[in-house]
Structure 1
Amino acid sequence: MNHHLDTNRANWDDRASVHAARETGRGYDVQRYIDDPELLSDVVRFDRERLGDISGLRVVHLQCHIGTDTLSLARLGARVTGLDFSPVALAEARALVDDARTPGIAPIDFVESDVDAAPTALEPASFDLVYTGIGALCWLPHIDDWANVVATLLKPGGRLFVREGHPILWSMDETESDDLHLRFPYFEQAEPLEWDDANSYVETDRPLTATKTYEWNHGIGEVVTALLDAGLVLTMLVEHDSVPWEALPGQMVARPGGEFALDARAGVAPLSYTIQAVKPGV
């Protein structure tokens, strides 16, 4: 058994339950997607122009969680498969898609698997687009393994598209509100950082009960090099001064579209990035 994986899965099973709450509008406020059949998630909408036309493409959304980004990609016309290691998250994702009932979208498949096993759970070299939303890569211990999985899943000519929290942000201590404090490793480490926290990154109806997690940071250079070593060609790398949650409480200001940027230290550090890479071929 993989202790780190099992512990993180328990945490994400717990998060899925509170993130998908509908009655109060907390968590991910999923009722919005049911009430508005054209609504896109803030994460997908942020990169809409960079993502381009994905209508008709076969897409896999790795680490899809409760499916709000997955549904959004389908609403843009893609044929989407969502993959996640949490059975609770996948049950919530299926319920959201069923209840949202968006006219004209292709059926969405959901597959239970961790990322490393994705080439076994899915058909290799069968996807036009591998998509990963924000806050996903920090749960993976080896960025090289992830890049090889991506390359295996893509068709020749297919592309990877990721928006992620910047490793500079992951290096900061969010508990210090007087200034920016670099506390944690920027580069990938063999051993993870261990956390024990009953709170999530969005407001929830109750504290978490599975509170322990393990995380790994991956520097920008490590991500880029892993993709190049996997045979992909980098076609985009954009750093952003905002992130879609209040990552540093007391030091950020809200922007439209669910984004948060630094206040007194505006522009001092990148907070997120978008990266795209293509598998050579047709």
Structure 2
Amino acid sequence: MATPDYLAVNRANWDERAPAHASSPDYRVEELVADPTALSQVVEFDRPRLGDLSGLTGLHLQCHIGTDTLSLARLGATMTGLDLSPASLDQARALAERAGVPIDYVEADVYSAPRALAGRRFDLVFTGIGALCWLPDIDRWAAVVDDLLAPGGRLFLREGHPMLWAFDETSQGVLALGYPYFETAEPIHDDDGGTYVATDTEFETTETQSWNHGLGEVVTALLDRGLVITELVEHRSVPWDALPGRMTRGDDGEFRLDEHPERLPLTYTLQARKAS
């Protein structure tokens, strides 16, 4: 099972990486500051599905350094960002201030969000790539989403596909499954000194605890809360080099498999509505 300190372990990891991520060209912070029309790559990818957010209140769960949060605000939403890492929120607040966009940031883990937000509800709850894996219980996550959505509100999720998370990215030769596809009681313990963006920083805090959640588990958890699934699209691309040596980056910044991209979903976009 998740150890009691999994939040502290993962918080320390994110706290150390936040400044490096903010200074990495992969997050394009300076471009977002310089160009008031610029959007993060993740939000730009799903812009047609997000649509015009004018007049909506939005909450970005696990917002990290706030590049997606800022981008959603630029699409018209009045945004709040929530994250467990104070160092990440420092970077997010600095970005919003430099960009001249008012965004409210709250420090809390996902399961504590309803209490931390004092019962506030939102028209849009957004979760981006690489977020759900830090949560041990997807059903509990769905309950939080339900609590945070206003009647008629929309969940918007783009996430790494659980099939991708199950592969061992260090495997040589054929692709090999190295991790669970389904949610497990025990976390995946990792001790990796790197990170997923270009940086020269050498990290000292390397331990993480994570979990995978099957696509059916995510969908079922939302259905069990009464949400209506309105879209589920599996994509052949992912916004980082998830399987090194096997992928090529396209003009849109997304990475795709060099061979047989039709064989493996890499990310998915899911939307769901709360009854009004």
Partner of 1:78: 77
How do 1:1-282 residues align onto structure 2 when only pairs under 5 Å count?
2-21=4-23, 25-101=24-100, 105=101, 107-124=102-119, 126-281=121-276
Deviation of 1:125 (Å): 5.7
CA distance in 1, matches of 2:172, 2:196: 16
Where 1:209 maps in the other structure, the secondary structure is coil
Deviation of 1:3 (Å): 1.1
Contact 1:177 1:249 in 2 (8 A): no
CA distance in 1, matches of 2:202, 2:226: 43
CA distance in 1, matches of 2:119, 2:146: 9
Q: Which amino acid aligns with 2:78?
A: R
Deviation of 1:110 (Å): 0.2
> Per-residue CA shift, 1:34-79, capped at 9, x if unaligned?
1111100000000001111111100000000000000000111110
Percent identity at matched positions? 61
Distance 1:40 1:177, change over 3 A: farther
Contact 1:61 1:82 in 2 (8 A): yes
CA distance in 1, matches of 2:245, 2:140: 36
Contact 2:27 2:40 in 1 (8 A): no
Q: Which amino acid aligns with 2:245?
A: G
**Superposition CA RMSD, Å:** 1.2
Structure 1 unmatched runs, 5+: none
- In the superposition, the TM-score normalised over structure 2's length comes to 0.96
Deviation of 1:240 (Å): 0.2
- In the superposition, the TM-score normalised over structure 1's length comes to 0.94
Q: Which amino acid aligns with 1:211?
A: T
Runs of 4+ displaced beyond 2 Å = none
Q: Which amino acid aligns with 2:8?
A: D
Q: Which amino acid aligns with 1:18?
A: A
CA distance in 2, matches of 1:242, 1:271: 6
Q: Which amino acid aligns with 2:6?
A: H
Contact 1:58 1:128 in 2 (8 A): yes
Q: How many residues align?
A: 274
Deviation of 1:27 (Å): 4.8
Distance 1:32 1:177, change over 3 A: farther
CA distance in 2, matches of 1:50, 1:28: 22
